[in-house]
Structure 1
């Protein structure tokens, strides 16, 4: 998976270099994450956040189809409660989504793959008597993660946008665990210069 990540990164930079226009921006937001799959029984939603930079590249003057690459910090994870024992796991990722966006009027529809690199984690287990233990080792967890994103956003003429995303996992959070990351995200974004605003020709 590491080689796929590096190949995707190189391909993205090559495509951006060939673009007619590339606009830099920033993105931040709030999400609810958990684990899905056959090994995720009892996992509950954990609030978290994401923040980072974006590049949006257009290949024609209309900018109806654009490629958006992002470099994000994302805090994912899940929590669980079983027989009075509460567990809370926070996974810290650097993530690289590469998304194809369809833009019409102020609407942006987007989808594409996402690759992540686990940089840290913290698991806190709290017992009924109030005592707890902290675990910070990443041993046994998958360092590289593959996933996907689908979403929609509204973009104002000034460059400010807001939207919703579903972020699903493809690879297991830990090898052979059957658990995959999942997050539902709400976000704000801003482009530092404007792309052409594609408009519908319906009715003309």
Structure 2
């Protein structure tokens, strides 16, 4: 995603702030449970990681709002053999923009997510570390989840993040384009805090 496209997404998410009942800013952090999924996946071992970042929540009505976030998120898997599997620890900048529906203190959320690859490290010591080269630098996906947020702005929740495109780059193999069909799949458990700016 180009910088201009990313800015357009963020502007769309916050363009109606003037008609919003309430705007809050905050931070969140939590754990990740990640692995590879897809038609070609074999022996993708679960990786435990984490995520942390900031967020802006815009409430339009008592029940409907939008939350935009920027997170440093650790994904990949713990596989030590290419089965195929991811066989790397991957770090991303994730930018989800989710619509939220709230009933009392409980909410459900769903929306698109953009991911930018920051680093990649092989799980196998001594193996030539080619870094980010085998992987696409930008991915698109979705996020959906549910949670609890009280009147003070404390937020606890669960979220599932999935890529909609494959994470490996296409390979030209003797004139044929080969695509390894593996995507990131990540469950998140998080704690956040929001405040209303003065």
Same fold (TM > 0.5): yes
Hey, what does 2:185 align to over in structure 1?
A: 182
User: Where does structure 1 lack aligned partners over 5 or more consecutive residues?
Assistant: 127-131, 195-204
2:68 aligned with 1:74, yes or no? no
- The Cα shift of 1:124 comes to 2.8
Query: Per-residue deviation at 1:9?
Result: 2.9
| Cα distance in 1 for residues equivalent to 2:88 and 2:104 | 41
Distance of 1:56 and 1:151 partners within structure 2: 15
Any stretches of 5+ residues in structure 2 without a counterpart? 170-178
CA-based RMSD of the aligned residues comes to 2.3
Residues of 2 paired with 1:82 and 1:143: CA distance?
A: 23
Shift of residue 18, structure 1, vs aligned partner: 5.3
Aligned to 1:202: none
Measured against aligned partners, the alpha-carbon deviations of 1:68-97 in whole angstroms (never above 9, x if no partner) come to 0001100111122449xxx84111111110
How far is the alpha carbon of 1:22 from its aligned partner? 1.4
Alignment counterpart, residue 161 of structure 2, candidates 163, 167, 174: 167
State whether residues 33 and 77 of structure 1, in contact with CA within 8 Å, keep that contact through their aligned partners in structure 2.
yes
Kept in 2, the 8 Å contact 1:96–1:116? The answer is yes
In structure 1, the partner of 2:49 is 48
5 Å matches for 1:1-204? 1-2=1-2, 5-16=6-17, 19-60=20-61, 62=62, 64-82=63-81, 88-126=87-125, 132-133=126-127, 135=129, 137-175=131-169, 176-193=179-196
- 8 Å CA contact 2:122–2:129 kept in 1: the answer is yes
Structure 1 residues 54 and 170: CA distance shift in structure 2, 3 A:
same
Residues 124, 135 of structure 1: 8 Å contact kept: no
8 Å contact from structure 1 (residues 122, 134) kept in 2? no
Count of paired positions: 185
CA distance in 2, matches of 1:88, 1:15: 43
Separation in structure 2 between the aligned mates of residue 36 and residue 89 of structure 1, nearest angstrom: 14
Q: In terms of Rg, which structure is larger?
A: 1
Distance 1:117 1:18 in 2: 31
How high is the TM-score relative to the length of structure 2?
0.84
